[in-house]
Amino acid sequence: MSPSTLLEERTAARPNPRQEEAAKAKGVAFGRGRALTFGRGLAGILALALAWEYAPRLELVNPYFFPPLHVVLQEWWAMAQSGELWRNVRSSLVRSGAGFGLAIAIAIPLGAAIAWYRPVREFLTPTLEVFRNTAALAILPVFTLILGIGETSKIAIVLYACFFPILLATIAGVATVDPQLLRSAKVLGMSPVTTFRKVVFPAAIPTIFTGIRISGAVSILVLIAAEYVGANAGLGFLISYSNANFLIPKMYAAILTTSALGLAVNYGLVWLERRFSRWRTA
């Protein structure tokens, strides 16, 4: 080992023994807390599953219209083996993914540009709030009339529903960046472009992801409703078709798949947010 390396090793800042013990205790407590939270959540899901299974068996609800959970799972497995389930899931994912992806690609740059210039932000924000509070399903007939009942109208309604939450979250995130960060960037001589890229946008990421997570859930919910009209594939079509033909277990299997898909999208976005925001806890 070279002298310089030895010197660096001897003089490196280290926690004292008491601090190390406290850090270990904190880590153990954090691990136990996460395990306890996971256990309670799992217990809640098991309780719901048991209620679903035994309420129809005990005839607390009509078993024909609300079959036991094992019947629904058997139907789900049969649909998965035949490929019917995955065909409809794929159709829904393509539509929602296209609309959601377009919303992100358009709303984030546009929202950042609007927020960067205060007069533009103050001029457009009230109008954008009006559109954000206009339910997408309320204007679904408009999209159907203009774009038809094909794929274009379904992707467009998802794009509309996802666009405004992401846009307004981006505007809020960029507009409320800590002024001290901006002053520090100015003192360091950063150009406006560099300031935005290295200071403003990273600081706004948590707020932007709030809008993205809201839109992720919306992209599934709105699409399911849109697939009730003029679709021949997709989870919404499967739910509507099963209901109309009294294929009750199949209907619940499709609903269960929709719920699982929504959970997967939400947790996936939470994971991405933590990765992009890792610098805040570094």
* Domain enclosing residue 155, as ranges: 69-280
Residue 19 sits in the same domain as residue 158: no
C-alpha to C-alpha distances, 237 to 147, 234, 242, 261, nearest whole angstrom: 19, 5, 8, 16
Q: Are residues 27 and 131 in the same domain?
A: no
pLDDT of residue 94: 92
Same domain, 175 and 42: no
Q: What percent of the chain has pLDDT over 70?
A: 87
Integer Cα distance of 273 and 166 in angstroms: 14
Q: What is the mean pLDDT of residues 237-242?
A: 91
Instruction: Kindly state the DSSP code that residue 197 receives in the 8-state scheme.
Output: I
For the stretch 164-174, pLDDT in tens is 999 999 988 88
Let me know whether 181 and 91 are in one domain.
Answer: yes
Same domain, 220 and 127: yes
User: Token digits for 109?
Assistant: 């740059």
Give a yes or no: residue 5 inside a domain. no
Rg (CA), the chain: 25
Task: Check pLDDT > 90 for residue 146.
Answer: no
Residue 6 within any structural domain of the chain: no
107 and 198 share one domain: yes
Q: Identify whether 2 is part of a domain.
A: no
Query: pTM higher than 0.85, yes or no?
Result: no
> For position 152, what pLDDT does the model report?
87
Please say if the pLDDT value at position 222 is more than 70: yes
User: Any idea which of 37-51, 83-97, 122-136, 268-282 has the lowest mean pLDDT?
Assistant: 268-282
- CA-nearest of 148, 43, 142, 156 to 96 is 156
27 pLDDT above the threshold of 90: no
Q: What is the pLDDT of residue 8?
A: 42
